[in-house]
Structure 1
Amino acid sequence: MTRPRILVVGAGFAGVACVRRLERRLAGREAEISLLTPFSYQLYLPLLPQVAAGVLTPQSVAVSLRRSERHRTRIIPGGAIGVDAKAKVCVVRTITGEIVNEPYDHLVLAPGSITRTFDIPGLTEHARGMKTLAEAVFIRDHVIAQLDLADAGQDEAERAARLQFVVVGGGYAGTETVACLQRLTHTAVKRYPRLDPKLIKWHLVDIAPKLMPELGDKLGSAALDILRRRGIEVSLGVSVASVDDNDVTLTDGRVLPCRTLIWTAGVAASPLIGTLEAETHKGRLVVGADMTVPGLDGIHALGDAAAVPDLAKGDDAICPPTAQHALRQGRKVADNLVAALRGQQTFPYVHKDLGLVVDLGGRDGVSKPLGVELHGMPAQAVARAYHWSALRTNVAKTRVMTNWLLNAVAGDDFVRTGFLASKSGTLRDFEYTDAYLTPDQVRAHTASMRAGSG
């Protein structure tokens, strides 16, 4: 008999957790497992700000998918651009650009998210994101390039503009990014004797009235105090009105001469979700408590792309798009798939919150493990311990710990890798939202492929 085909889309926290659990619980004869991803690594996203700041090397947060205990999963190098749920086919664009069909019996959709943008003039052409490994490396190169150019320049106005940086988004990504990069420039300026440290200005802006409201008022205020003590100007209730080559204009009327805008103002579900013609909630695919998609046979969805009911909170609450939820949801989907294959009962996703951790670099942090509020060095120790333990392989753990120790002892050399010589590294360069098919195109493609094979 032909083994059931399980296709997992996405190698983020949710997808990899699902595959690992499936490999452990299923015998080889019970199912064929495939993982669809453009890259053969799992990105440990929470540590990207430290890559941008040079504390960690890019390789240390790219956890190899080939370092598997069983090596049973077939890794397909490409991205899903459409799903024909009726034909049970996922349309794939491989890394060589070829479009092929990948049939499945059970489909696990964990494609993650993209950077959420708005119709702000100049945003996608000039802003930089912090969602991918390449973006983190580009941002580091760009920030150091501004220091180099300012140091070499003669025009005082241009020098001031190059030394002014704006980060948009007061959530975890934005707060950690501005904290880590401010420390980078604060340390680097000692190597630039022609630069006045007072000219380096970092701004964090967010339309929300509070910084990281998930932490609560006390810890949110503690984080705000840490940033302001470092000289970071935090503006709440404010966003970006427009951006161009020379200036960032804020909604409160201020115009900041600036060459650097880093955009971390939230995420949106992968455009792949729009190809299914299924019900969505704020762009995320509506699923049941067991993460099955109503009306679509054999499809589960989880992680950032799915509106998974948060039964622990009730009142129609939806799980937030965090790594903590994605990991647990991946394991639960795997357990339910195993149960379904064996004719057993499946169960809903219910979780217990472990708390929140924020690493602000240096000796600073704010954390709330199991409801206990911490800040300063104890909070940072908890944050780094959590991230270190969550890394999937011993090799990754060794690399990260070595990087932390080396950076603490030897510091940074502030070296640019040279990627900026060929690309600007803006949102437009990394958000491939035009790569996806429409539902009609998906159906036409699968039909033509079937006709060709017939």
Structure 2
Amino acid sequence: MYTALRLQRRLKHELRRAREGGGGVQVTVLAPDPYMTYQPFLPEAAAGSISPRHVVVPLRRVLPHCRIVIGEAKSIDHARRTATVETLATEHAGTGPVEVPYDELVLAPGSVSRALPVPGLAENGIGFKTVEEAIGLRNHVLEQLDIASSTRDPAVRDAALTFVFVGGGYAGVEALAELEDMARYACRYYHNIRPRDMKWLLVEATGRILPEVGEAMGRYAVRELRGRNVDVRLETRLDSCENRVAQLSDGSRHPCRTLVWTAGVKPHPLLERTDLPLDGRGRLRCTATLRVEGTEHAWSAGDAAAVPDLAAEKSRTRGAGEGPPPKCAPNAQHAVRQARLLADNLVASLRGREPSEYEHSYAGSVASLGLHKGVAHVYGRRLKGYPAWFLHRVYHLSRVPTVNRKARILAEWTLAGLFKREIVSLGSMEHPRAEFELAAGTGRHPEGP
């Protein structure tokens, strides 16, 4: 989206000529959803601090001069410069995918959750990468409080009040911290549930969490979470979660009805269905100009691209380091900047100019640990508590696309400071036709006599 937005601005005259039928340039954006999700706000959307519709940016609104196609690329034959695409229209018509030709390819499908072959994970695990998963997890957590409040079976109650999160990176820690905050607040409205009755468990295979904020801030985050009665298990793996029982590598067993999997990501499977060069981790091999290595007319950025980290390479050269050249980390800080330079380089290529190389020194990281709590390591300075949390909000508010979204999110934060949290579960939204189907099948309202 950022690349298309930049192209829309840089090529506005060519795009206008194309719309008027006089030749020019057409930018086609193929995406599985009609919106872009700003993922750093997913934990707050799950906790109810932000409305889910405000963490997504509608593509048709911000890209009015581009052609938006909702669908999925099944494969790409760059030698023929064609993409095999299945759109909503072809899927519903049953006609199968169609071939779409192109002149220049920008391949940025991002990453998907990396699921390991853990018994029971596919049946019982919950992901946390999309806005739909964030909404579903919020509804699920509140539903568990309802189950625990209404059951007389101690085993069912304990399992409903046990929440297991696997993965100590940004997604896992921020999601757990925000949802624990929300659930602890919600307990005041249940006559028979206290915050101490809940069991929150964070499982991390390495010896630290939040490695991006540095070792000292990672240790602080562990102390902060443990101080809130969160059981942080380092150097521990999930061995099984069959029958809704989380079995860990330390031998402990935890019956639970909530298991959230945030243990890393992997490149999008689409990359394997192309004829473009990949590195050992399955990412596209790219040059510092964001061109796909050894090819013409193909570009990439973000999680799917293995781009040389020139800033890190210079630092390593000064330190006389050895080993393969470092690559840019697959995070939003690099991806957004790469996307804009990619658009500039593509325009330069079309106009016969030399492209520029991508170089960005890592600025640092910020992470939220719930309302008014956070950690940060920015430009060598460490922050914790309220200052880090405030910096987290300011930074991401400045980065979320469009003034419209910035204003709406700021208004929601302001209102959240004046009024109480919303703790309503709308789980029925996930199956909106269930009640009507039941009524139509039985000939009477399901709640009738």
How would you bin the TM-score normalised by the shorter chain? 0.7 to 0.9
Q: TM-score, normalised by structure 2?
A: 0.88
The one-letter amino acid of 2:226's match is R
Q: CA deviation at 1:76?
A: 0.8
Distance 1:57 1:421 in 2: 16
Q: Contact (CA 8 Å) 2:312, 2:361: kept in 1 or not? A: no
Structure 1 equivalent of residue 80 of structure 2: 87
Q: CA deviation at 1:80?
A: 1.3
Structure 2 equivalent of residue 303 of structure 1: 302
> Quick one: structure 1 residues 57 and 252, their matched pair in 2 at CA, closer, same or farther if it must change by over 3 Å?
same
Structure 2 equivalent of residue 284 of structure 1: 283
Structure 1 equivalent of residue 52 of structure 2: 58
Distance 2:371 2:424 in 1: 20
Does structure 1 residue 45 correspond to structure 2 residue 39?
yes
Q: 1:78 aligns with which of 67, 71, 76?
A: 71
Distance 1:344 1:173 in 2: 40
Distance 1:409 1:230 in 2: 24
Q: CA deviation at 1:322?
A: 0.8
Structure 1 equivalent of residue 318 of structure 2: none
Q: How does 1:29-428 map to 2 (within 5 A)?
A: 29=17, 30-68=24-62, 71-96=64-89, 97=91, 98-277=96-275, 278-314=277-313, 316-419=325-428, 422=431
The one-letter amino acid of 1:212's match is L
Q: Which runs of 5+ in 2 are unaligned?
A: 18-23, 314-323, 433-449
> Quick one: structure 1 residues 419 and 274, their matched pair in 2 at CA, closer, same or farther if it must change by over 3 Å?
farther
Distance 2:10 2:152 in 1: 65
Q: 2:5 aligns with which of 1, 20, 30?
A: 20
Distance 2:347 2:228 in 1: 51
Distance 1:366 1:306 in 2: 28
> Quick one: structure 1 residues 330 and 421, their matched pair in 2 at CA, closer, same or farther if it must change by over 3 Å?
closer
Q: Contact (CA 8 Å) 1:138, 1:419: kept in 2 or not? A: no
Q: CA deviation at 1:31?
A: 2.0
Larger Rg: 2
Distance 2:285 2:30 in 1: 22
Q: CA deviation at 1:239?
A: 1.3
Counterpart secondary structure, 2:251: coil
> Quick one: structure 1 residues 385 and 279, their matched pair in 2 at CA, closer, same or farther if it must change by over 3 Å?
same
Distance 2:255 2:54 in 1: 35
> Quick one: structure 1 residues 295 and 419, their matched pair in 2 at CA, closer, same or farther if it must change by over 3 Å?
farther
Counterpart secondary structure, 2:312: coil
> Quick one: structure 1 residues 421 and 312, their matched pair in 2 at CA, closer, same or farther if it must change by over 3 Å?
closer
Q: CA deviation at 1:244?
A: 2.1
CA deviation vs aligned residue, 1:13-52 (integer Å, no higher than 9, x gap): xxx1111111111232442111111222111001101111
Counterpart secondary structure, 1:24: helix
Distance 2:232 2:6 in 1: 43
Q: Contact (CA 8 Å) 1:245, 1:259: kept in 2 or not? A: no
Q: CA deviation at 1:295?
A: 3.4
Q: CA deviation at 1:422?
A: 4.1
Distance 2:141 2:122 in 1: 18
The one-letter amino acid of 2:206's match is A
Worse-superposed segment, 154-163 or 239-248: 239-248
Structure 2 equivalent of residue 7 of structure 1: none
Q: Contact (CA 8 Å) 1:67, 1:393: kept in 2 or not? A: no
Counterpart secondary structure, 1:19: helix
Worse-superposed segment, 151-160 or 348-357: 348-357
Q: Contact (CA 8 Å) 1:138, 1:420: kept in 2 or not? A: no
The one-letter amino acid of 1:226's match is E
CA RMSD of aligned residues (A): 1.5
Worse-superposed segment, 130-139 or 192-201: 192-201
Counterpart secondary structure, 1:373: strand
CA deviation vs aligned residue, 1:379-429 (integer Å, no higher than 9, x gap): 111110011111111211122112222222222231111247649xxxxxx
The one-letter amino acid of 2:257's match is R
CA deviation vs aligned residue, 1:240-290 (integer Å, no higher than 9, x gap): 101123311111111101010000111111001001142323121111111
Distance 1:279 1:353 in 2: 25
Structure 2 equivalent of residue 6 of structure 1: none
Distance 2:403 2:266 in 1: 32
How many residue pairs are counted as aligned between the two chains? 407
CA deviation vs aligned residue, 1:186-212 (integer Å, no higher than 9, x gap): 101111111233220101111011111
The one-letter amino acid of 1:334's match is A
Counterpart secondary structure, 2:126: coil
CA deviation vs aligned residue, 1:218-239 (integer Å, no higher than 9, x gap): 1111211111111111111011
The one-letter amino acid of 1:209's match is G
Distance 1:418 1:207 in 2: 32
Distance 2:348 2:107 in 1: 18
Q: Contact (CA 8 Å) 2:312, 2:326: kept in 1 or not? A: yes
CA deviation vs aligned residue, 1:287-325 (integer Å, no higher than 9, x gap): 111121123331111111111111111251111111111
Q: Contact (CA 8 Å) 2:200, 2:230: kept in 1 or not? A: yes
Distance 2:400 2:104 in 1: 28
Q: Contact (CA 8 Å) 1:365, 1:375: kept in 2 or not? A: yes
